[in-house]
Structure 1
């Protein structure tokens, strides 16, 4: 028996019903203002500039080139992974200031006869991050510390450059992630 309320979809009607949910989803998502980046950084879409000030080396013991290397490493990471432009303006959208407060060599492990087997270089930097745009949630005097171990039979001057090539990128990643990924 024929049902007079039976509704039959035609091929064009079926295609239309498949397209409508996709179009609605696209319309809803296009109104969002959250910026997504592949590296997990969340940057306000209105932000254009960043000022990474020279990171001063105030550690009692220090490497004279560490401040410059750390400053350049942070600048390069920000420029490579965001659309921000480095500026020296006092009122940049994002602002980093910092000082190296710790730079020390120490024993990390000793042998049974009280001789050091492993030594360690530890670097500490304090960073202040100011946001002048968006939610304006920066951070004050955040301390970041990284270290690297080496064979205690070698002198610090023999291994220092190699250790810093390990430590500096780790510190840069920590600072970048704290500022932009807010971990």
Structure 2
């Protein structure tokens, strides 16, 4: 083999050159995000709430959580409109439903939130998507939703943000 004949320093130099060459093709981060180096900006619009049940803080908290994720885990600059990458969405469903039945009563309930998201990548249009993400958390039926709602929304938002971020910029 050719590499066996080369001395160690030359092998290391060749390995470094190869690694640098490969890494210059796409921007990677420790989060797994794979963003084209030409993409410098992202715009994330306010997530309107069109669900039949409106939680006043849900739109704002989801919007801020998505913005925070992209700001903290990518090098993209957040701008108001017309970013190289663009995200917009609408909350389409917020509902509770009984899950585990024990006797004639629900032993647990499920809070579900659905968000329809449109992602536009002006640099790589083949990465564009429009899809609905639904996530949920179960809670004991003995609890009042109003008492656990904020904590459930926080957990569900985190999962929804993971879905939006991963589908947009994590290509694993």
Q: Is residue 145 from structure 1 mapped to residue 134 from structure 2 by the alignment?
A: yes
Other-structure match for 1:93: 84
Q: Is residue 172 from structure 1 mapped to residue 161 from structure 2 by the alignment?
A: yes
1:76 aligned residue (58, 61, 68): 68
- Aligned-residue Cα RMSD (Å) equals 1.4
Query: How does the TM-score come out when normalised to structure 2?
Result: 0.90
Other-structure match for 1:109: 100
Question: Segments of 4+ in structure 1 off by > 6 A?
Answer: none
Other-structure match for 2:18: 28
The question of whether the paired residues in 2 share the 8 Å contact of 1:73 and 1:168 is answered with yes
Query: How does the TM-score come out when normalised to structure 1?
Result: 0.85
- Please report how far the alpha carbon of residue 48 of structure 1 lies from its aligned counterpart in structure 2 after TM superposition: 1.0
Other-structure match for 1:61: 53
How many aligned residue pairs are there? Answer: 165
- Determine the C-alpha separation between the residues in 1 that align with 2:128 and 2:122: 12
Q: Deviations over 1:13-50 (max 9, x none)?
A: xxx82111111222222222132211111011121110
The question of whether the paired residues in 2 share the 8 Å contact of 1:130 and 1:137 is answered with no
Larger radius of gyration: 1
